[in-house]
Amino acid sequence: MRIGVVTFPGSNCDTDTLEALESLDVGVESIWYQDADLAQVDGVILPGGFSYGDYLRSGALAAKAPVMAAIRAQVEEGALPVLGICNGFQILTESGLLPGTLRPNRHGEFRCDWQTLRVVEASPFFPGLMPGELLRLPIAHGEGAFYVPPGTLATVFQQGEAWLQYVDESGLLNAVINPNGSMANLAGIKRGSVAALMPHPERAMADYLGSSDGRRLLSAWLKGIGQEGSYAG
């Protein structure tokens, strides 16, 4: 198995993500944003950072990069698992591969701290991560408030696209601990073979860093890719 990590102008978590994957004994490939050949990889991660300096809207320019056209084509064929992290989440919503958009944080502040997440829906691309399971991961973003038109929020849950929510340490929803004003405390969304989250699993790969739950999440994603038939979505 070989996983590609895309670098856009302004990406700053690509190296961390490559190193996190290497620690899980998986082959890695650095993919430049102008590359359109993904034949050498079995899955792709869009890492965190500030692609194109977050001009216009975060992720808006990166969504038009050549590599995204190649990713879209393979996703539509059901042949490519994709994981977006922070800016990668923004890119995936801007490209239309995930629903909604990421707005500036409600309080107008950049937030960098630890959050507890609850798995809302299971996914064949994350075997072993069960509904109700809690993960402790760090966030670092200024535009992480997930938004969809109010009338469509119920559809996100009905279609199984709601994946992760910000919760308190006991796993309960609480508007007070919502770090950015996301609708329904949503921290992660999935659709078919595409999933994304605002927190950074690559920064939570060992207990001495504050949590090893990022290792659990990335390991589950890799296991899902390796399972026969996982591309079916």
Per domain, the residue ranges of the chain are 2-232
Q: Do 230 and 194 meet the contact criterion of CB atoms below 8 Å apart?
A: no
Catalytic residue, candidates 13, 86, 94, 143: 86
Q: Give catalytic status of residue 202 as yes or no.
A: yes
The answer to whether 215 and 206 are in contact (CB under 8 A) is yes
Residue 76 catalytic?
no
Which residue is catalytic, options 94, 143, 161, 202?
Answer: 202
Q: Indicate if the alpha-carbon torsion angle 81, 66, 160, 201 is positive or negative.
A: positive
Residue pair 173/95 in contact (Cβ under 8 Å)? The answer is no
Q: What pLDDT score does 230 carry?
A: 42
Please tell us whether the domain made up of 2-232 is placed in CATH 3.30.300.20.
Answer: no
> Are 198 and 139 contacting, i.e. CB atoms less than 8 angstroms apart?
yes
Cα separation, 180 vs 178, in Å, equals: 6
pTM: 0.95
Residues of the chain with pLDDT under 70: 228-233
Catalytic residue among 13, 94, 161, 200: 200
Q: Return the pLDDT at 53.
A: 87
